């Protein structure tokens, strides 16, 4: 597993992170690792849009199909 080092972290930032880690019952390293892993696992808007485009390209569903499904759902609620 790789290691990273972050330089020039302000005292205020370090203090805030230490307090948050302590409140979460984690070490500073564990807390920051969790933040990094969460960030890496979260799709950016651009990544999500690209995935949606790829899924749509493989789909045979048309806009008319979607409109029909919405209409059917509305009628079923009535």
What is the model's pLDDT at position 73? 95
Query: What confidence score (pLDDT) does residue 35 get?
Result: 98
User: What confidence category does residue 78 fall into, taking pLDDT thresholds of 50, 70 and 90?
Assistant: confident
First-last CA distance in the chain: 57
Position 61 scores a pLDDT of: 86
Rounded Cα distance between 2 and 37, Å, is 13
pTM above 0.85, yes or no: no
Query: According to the model, what pLDDT value does residue 41 have?
Result: 94
* Spans of all domains in the chain: 1-42, 44-78
- Could you report the per-residue pLDDT of 5-62, keeping only the tens digit for each? 999 999 999 999 999 999 999 999 999 999 999 999 999 999 999 999 999 889 888 8
């Amino acid at each position: 597993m790789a290691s990273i080092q972050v330089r020039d972290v302000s005292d205020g930032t370090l203090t805030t992170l230490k307090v948050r880690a302590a409140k979460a019952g984690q070490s500073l390293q564990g807390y920051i690792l969790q933040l990094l892993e969460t960030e890496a696992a979260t799709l950016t808007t651009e990544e999500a849009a690209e995935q949606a485009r790829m899924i749509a390209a493989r789909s045979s569903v048309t806009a008319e199909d979607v409109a029909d499904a919405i209409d059917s759902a509305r009628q079923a609620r009535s």
